[in-house]
Amino acid sequence: MANDRLGSAPGSSTTSALPTPSTDAVLAYLQTYGLGLGDLLDANTLLVAGEFAGEADLIVRADRDYERDRHGAFSIEASECALIVVDMQEDFVRPTSVMCQPGALRQLPAIRRLADACRHLGVPVVFTAATYPRGRVNDTQAYCAPVARGALAEGSVGTKIAAEFEVRPDETVIRTKHTYDAFFGTELDSLLRGAGVHTVIVCGTMTNYCCEATARGAFDRGYHVVFGSDVTSTDSAINHVATLRTMRRGYARVMSGLEIEGALAGPNRLCEGATAGDRSDEP
């Protein structure tokens, strides 16, 4: 199997090499699952007319699909939105903290700008604060040594929202967030529904943990989800990109902070272009 040429279909009389980046997608798939090209289902076995012919074709098309924006999925209406600023807390943004996320520190100005734009437009800004009470809530302490040693402990200074945001008296801070998903076991869902919110905008830290889990939680509860591409961050570039790809394909409209600001201020040009049949959002 090691001699199988990429792009050849087992049992096929022809052999052709797939062009890059298609080659890379298939090679990565084979390496990840410990397969040879001959292990993939050929076009005689896996054939869906008009969609794909063979497993290699399916892999290539799926890889491209992870990069395709779905800006036509829903329109962003400021009157129905809320901004969720996930865990932009002192423990995550201060270089003296063992929990510091340098990306979160660097993104403070951009996230503050987005929050201020929302405030100006009357879009509710909700902050979440990862907080761990004494005793076991879940297995976080087993996976995260700093938390086991007391980081983000209930009542500690490190759980406070970063001072740069200047949280206003009328803004909510969800302090009952004891796991990654800001909806789980908190008042967030009832708060948003009571305010007539149908679309949530997710920004903050960390991309592949609390931001992703919160976006999934919103999606599963029926909210439209907007996920910030450059107003979320984590400690791994590959995992940041992986989350954006997953969000883009099945959960959210992935947009930059400036794109979100523009959509909230109107008009929704990305959505209008997509719904009008402009496929420029496809790779």
The reported pLDDT for the residue numbered 136 is 85
Q: Which of 39, 65, 91 is the last residue of a domain?
A: 65
60 and 150 share one domain: no
Question: What percentage of the chain's residues is helix, strand, coil (to nearest 5)?
Answer: 40, 15, 40
Q: Give the domain CATH number at 129.
A: 3.40.50.850
pLDDT of residue 277: 47
**Domains in the chain, number:** 2
Most confident by average pLDDT, 10-19, 98-107, 128-137: 98-107
Q: What's the DSSP call for residue 228?
A: E
Name residues whose C-beta falls within 8 Å of residue 135's C-beta, 6 or more positions apart in sequence.
none
- Over residues 242-265, the mean pLDDT reads 98
* Claim to verify: residue 169 and residue 92 sit in the same structural domain: yes
Q: Across all residues in the chain, what is the average pLDDT?
A: 90
Give the pLDDT of residue 153.
95
Q: How far apart are the first and last CA of the chain?
A: 32
Contacts of 147 (CB under 8 A, 6+ apart): 132, 140, 141
User: Is beta strand 81-86 parallel, antiparallel or unpaired with respect to 47-48?
Assistant: unpaired
Task: Tell me the pLDDT tens digit for each residue of 29-44.
Answer: 999 999 999 999 999 9
Using pLDDT thresholds of 50, 70 and 90, give the confidence band for residue 269. Answer: confident
| Strand ranges in 119-242 using DSSP code E only, listed in sequence order | 125-130, 172-177, 199-205, 224-233
**Closest to 52 measured CA to CA, from 44, 64, 41, 61:** 61
- Picking from 16, 39, 65, the residue at the C-terminal end of a domain is 65
**228 and 109 assigned to the same domain:** yes
Q: What is the pLDDT of residue 273?
A: 73
Confirm if 59 and 31 have CB atoms less than 8 A apart.
no
pLDDT in tens, 213-243: 999 999 999 999 999 999 999 999 999 999 9
Backbone angles phi, psi at 27, to 5 degrees: -60, -45
What pLDDT was estimated at residue 275?
63
Q: What pLDDT score does 50 carry?
A: 82
User: Residue range 114-137: average pLDDT?
Assistant: 95
Which of 36, 265, 263 lies closest to 273 in space, CA to CA?
263
**Nearest CA among 111, 87, 98 for reference residue 177:** 87
Tens-digit pLDDT profile for residues 142-192: 999 999 999 999 999 999 999 999 999 999 999 999 999 999 999 999 999
Same domain, yes or no: 27 and 127:
no
- Residue 49 sits in which domain range? 1-65
The answer to whether residues 126 and 85 touch, using CB atoms and an 8 Å cutoff, is yes
Q: pLDDT band at 3, cuts 50/70/90?
A: very low
Identify whether 21 is preceded by a cis peptide bond (ω within 30 of 0). yes
Helix (H) or strand (E) holding 270: helix 269-275
Report the pLDDT averaged over residues 123-127: 98
User: Would you say 103 and 205 are in contact if contact means Cβ atoms under 8 Å apart?
Assistant: yes
Q: Please check whether residues 32 and 99 belong to one and the same domain.
A: no
pTM, to two decimals:
0.88
Please indicate, yes or no, if residue 280 is contained in any of the structural domains.
no
Q: Sorting pLDDT into bands at 50, 70 and 90, what band is 274?
A: confident
